[in-house]
């Protein structure tokens, strides 16, 4: 089947969907509310399944060329001793910055496809299918399923950024109620990310104790992680508050479906998850290719969307649960020595 598609959201999932459908002969318009592509952004870990999705739109080799491959990583204690060594099954991940990935995805799109400073409309320009790729605060999801399916706080705050110099390997350090990750990235830089559990308020909805972020959170991070091992301290010493990103972490409630009428939700609009498995961006691309295949293989939009929902809802729900569990384990506040022993045993047994 060939037809017309309106994509709301010019991020990773939306651009992947546009590329797939255009290659299959579809007419596509992408609406992105930002006024242009991002100039900054931290590294994304692209797992083998996501690289396979990029291969499906002819961009896998380009991303592998731009990014930094990683086939393994370490889990460490705050003193730098090892909890476990983790190996990627089925190949390696590729670490690439968000701007690098988005520019690669946008490059093949012809003139008149990608429209910045544009939100589109709920009717989707009269298109055969509307693809909601408008992120965790999706207005299309709100319109289709209602506000009760808005994401809920996970009780954690996160900081992300990069510093000069190249990290040799990827490592994530787990402490008491917090974690700190370091990895290489393109451009000869070092990517870092931190997450800290926040105490909930009486209603259990919003974090009640928020750190001072007047300098982006740099001073808080240096205080919170300043006694951790040398690699963490070396990153803390080089943090530039101007490029430090801070946000609270949220997770989507389980939607009854990823489709409604001629609307299909992909990526964070459908299944925003905790970042602890590093699969958010990956699953957006996998969604986009699965949706594209369903639309091009079917003779009917409704059947195609049902097929997409069957293929993607169950596995992404499982990943949401696993990511949430991993986040709780990584930032546990009790029995952390027992946690470390158990994780080390599990990884050694595969």
Do residues 68 and 96 touch, judged by C-beta distance below 8 A? yes
Task: State how far the Cα of 154 lies from the Cα of 166, in Å rounded to an integer.
Answer: 31
Burial class (CB in 10 A: 0-12, 13-18, 19+), 212: exposed
> Can you give the pLDDT at residue 55?
98
Instruction: Evaluate if residue 208 carries a pLDDT over 60.
Output: no
The angle at the Cα of 280, spanning 275 to 283, to the nearest 5 degrees, equals 150
Residue 304: count other Cβ atoms within 10 Å of its Cβ: 25
Written as six digits, the tokens of 51 are 């690289």
What average pLDDT does this structure show over 280-289?
97
What is the average per-residue pLDDT within 108-120? Answer: 90
Choose among 53, 80, 128, 112: nearest CA to 289: 53
Q: Please report the pLDDT score of residue 200 as a whole number.
A: 58
Q: Which residue has the tokens 């060594």?
A: 85
- How would you classify the pairing of strands 263-265 and 259-260? antiparallel
For residue 24, give both structure tokens.
């299959």
pLDDT of residue 75: 92
Phi first, then psi, for residue 190 (nearest 5°) are: -115, 125
> Which residue do the tokens 């207005």 mark?
139
What is the pLDDT at residue 271? 97
Running DSSP on this structure, what letter comes out for residue 296?
Answer: H
Q: What is the mean pLDDT of residues 70-75?
A: 87
**Rg of the chain over all Cα atoms, to the nearest angstrom:** 20
Do the beta carbons of residue 224 and residue 196 sit within 8 Å?
yes
For residue 168, the model assigns a pLDDT of 80
Q: Which pLDDT score, from 0 to 100, does residue 339 have?
A: 80
Q: Is 269 exposed, middle or buried (0-12, 13-18, 19+ CB in 10 A)?
A: buried
Alpha-carbon distance of 256 to 232, in angstroms, equals 42
Query: What does the alpha-carbon distance between residue 182 and residue 54 come to, in Å, rounded to a whole number?
Result: 25
Residues 254-279 have pLDDT tens digits of 999 999 999 999 999 999 999 998 99
CB 64 within 8 A of CB 51: yes
Query: What number of CA atoms fall less than 13 Å from residue 51's CA on the CB side?
Result: 21
Percent of the chain beyond pLDDT 70? 92
pLDDT, one tens digit per residue, over 140-156 is 999 999 999 999 999 99
pLDDT at position 210 is: 59
Q: What's the whole-number mean pLDDT along residues 196-209?
A: 58
Q: Would you say the C-alpha torsion 177, 182, 183, 186 has a positive or negative sign?
A: positive
Estimate the crossing angle of helix 12-23 against helix 48-56, to 10 degrees: 40
Beta-sheet pairing, 189-197 with 178-185: antiparallel
Domains and CATH numbers, the chain: 4-69+94-151+252-330 (3.50.50.60), 153-250+332-349 (3.30.9.30)
Check pLDDT > 60 for residue 192: yes
Give burial (CB, 10 Å; 0-12/13-18/19+) of 333: exposed
């Amino acid at each position: 089947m060939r037809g017309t598609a309106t994509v709301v959201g010019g991020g990773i999932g939306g651009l992947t969907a546009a590329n797939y459908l255009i290659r299959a002969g579809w007419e596509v318009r992408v609406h992105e509310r930002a006024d242009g592509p991002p100039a900054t952004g931290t590294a994304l870990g692209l797992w083998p399944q996501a690289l396979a999705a990029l291969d499906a739109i002819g961009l896998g080799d380009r991303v592998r060329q731009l990014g930094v491959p990683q086939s393994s990583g370490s889990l460490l204690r705050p003193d730098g001793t090892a909890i476990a060594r983790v190996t990627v099954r089925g190949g390696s991940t590729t670490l690439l910055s968000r701007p690098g990935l988005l520019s690669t995805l946008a490059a093949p799109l012809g003139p008149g496809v990608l429209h910045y400073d544009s939100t589109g409309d709920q009717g989707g320009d009269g298109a055969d299918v509307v693809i909601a790729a408008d992120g965790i605060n999706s207005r299309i999801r709100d319109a289709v399923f209602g506000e009760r399916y808005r994401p809920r706080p996970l009780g954690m705050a996160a900081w992300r950024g990069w510093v000069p110099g190249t990290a040799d390997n990827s490592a994530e350090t787990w402490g008491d109620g917090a974690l700190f990750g370091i990895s290489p990235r393109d451009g000869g830089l070092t990517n870092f990310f931190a997450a800290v559990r926040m105490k909930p308020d009486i209603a259990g909805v919003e974090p009640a104790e928020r750190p001072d972020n007047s300098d982006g959170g740099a001073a808080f991070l240096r205080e919170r992680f300043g006694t951790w091992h040398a690699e963490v301290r070396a990153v803390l010493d080089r943090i530039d508050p101007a490029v430090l990103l801070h946000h609270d972490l949220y997770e989507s409630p389980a939607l009854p479906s990823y489709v409604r009428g001629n609307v299909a939700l992909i990526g964070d609009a459908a299944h925003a998850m905790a970042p602890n498995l590093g699969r958010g961006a990956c699953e957006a691309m996998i969604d986009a290719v699965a949706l594209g295949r369903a639309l091009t293989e079917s003779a009917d939009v409704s059947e195609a969307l049902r097929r997409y929902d069957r293929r993607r809802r169950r596995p992404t729900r499982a990943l949401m649960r696993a990511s949430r569990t991993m986040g709780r384990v990584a930032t546990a506040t009790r029995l952390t020595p027992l946690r470390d022993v158990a994780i080390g045993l599990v990884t050694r047994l595969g």
